[in-house]
Amino acid sequence: MFEGKKTTKKQKRIRLFLTVVIVSSMFVVRLILIQTGVIQGAQDLTDAELVSRITPWEVTIQTPSGTGRGTVMLVSTGRKNASDTVYLISTEGVVRDFDDSSEVTFSDGSSYSGTLGSTDEEKDIGIVSVQADGKSDSTYSEDIFYQKEAGSEVVWLDDAGNLQKGTFTSRSAVVDGYDIALLTAGGSMDGTSEGAGLYDTTGNYLGTLITEENGTLLAIPADAMYSYFKVNH
C-alpha cells in the first residue's frame, strides 16, 4: 500500500504562517477597497430608516431609584415552549437598584419584570435580562467601530423616541473624573436618560451614553461593553 509522506512540524508551521499572511492580506485589501470606494461598506441610512432600525433595540428601565435606558445586547432563543431571554446592557448607575418591582419597557409598549445580572461599578456597566418574545438584538461590528473617523455623525434616541445627532470625536478619550477610556462626541443630551445607545449612521451600535459635559457626550465604548458582556452574561 502506498503511504504518503508525513507532514513535519516545520511544514505545519510554514502552512500556518502562510494562512495567517493570506487572511491578513485579504482583510487589508478589503479595507483599502472600502476606503477607496471600489467596494461598498455599510450604507448610511436616512433619518427615518435609522429611527425604524434603532427603536426596537432601545428600552426604558424603571427602578425604585429612577428611570434610565438600556440597549438590547443579545436575544437567546428559548428552548421548547420557553420564552426567549433578552439581555440588556446599560450603565451600573441605571441598574444598581434593579429589583422585583423594576420594569423594562420596550418601544412597542410591552413591559416586563427582569433579573439583575452582573454589574461593575468601576467600569460602570450593568446587565439585566428579561423573558420576552419577538425582540431583536442590536448590531455591532468591530470593523465599523474601529474605522470610525473623527467628524463623522453619530445618533441616538431621546426619551420621546426622536432622533438626536452629534459628531464623533474619539473612541478612547481619557476624561477627568473617569477611570475608564470613554468614547466622546459633540452633542447635547438634554432630555435623554443615561444608558441610551449611541449609533453611527448605518445603525451600528457604538456605545452607551453616560452623560454630557459642556457639549461633549461621554459614552462607554461598544468594544468595552461587548468584552464585558461576553465574559459576564
Say whether 71 sits in a helix, a strand or coil: strand
pLDDT at 2 over 50: no
Least confident range from 78-82, 135-139, 185-189, 193-197: namely: 78-82
pLDDT of residue 216: 96
What residue has cell string 459635559?
A: 213
Q: Which stretches of 36-112 are DSSP H helices?
A: 47-54, 92-95
Q: For residue 76, list its beta bridge partners.
A: 85
Q: What is the CATH number of domain 48-131?
A: 2.40.10.10
Residue 91 binned pLDDT confidence (cut-offs 50, 70, 90): very high
Q: Considering all CA atoms of the chain, what is the largest pairwise distance in Å, rounded to the nearest integer?
A: 79
What mean pLDDT is predicted for residues 92-115? 97
pLDDT of residue 80: 80
Contact 164, 158 (CB under 8 A): yes
Residue 7 binned pLDDT confidence (cut-offs 50, 70, 90): low
Taking the C-alpha atoms of residue 13 and residue 71, their distance in angstroms, rounded to an integer, is 43
CATH 2.40.10.10 in the chain, residue ranges: 48-131, 142-232
Give the pLDDT confidence of 28-68 residue by residue, as tens digits. Answer: 655 554 455 444 457 899 999 999 999 999 999 999 999 99
Domain 142-232 belongs to what topology?
Thrombin, subunit H (2.40.10)
Give the pLDDT confidence of 105-144 residue by residue, as tens digits. Answer: 999 999 999 999 999 999 999 999 999 999 999 999 999 9
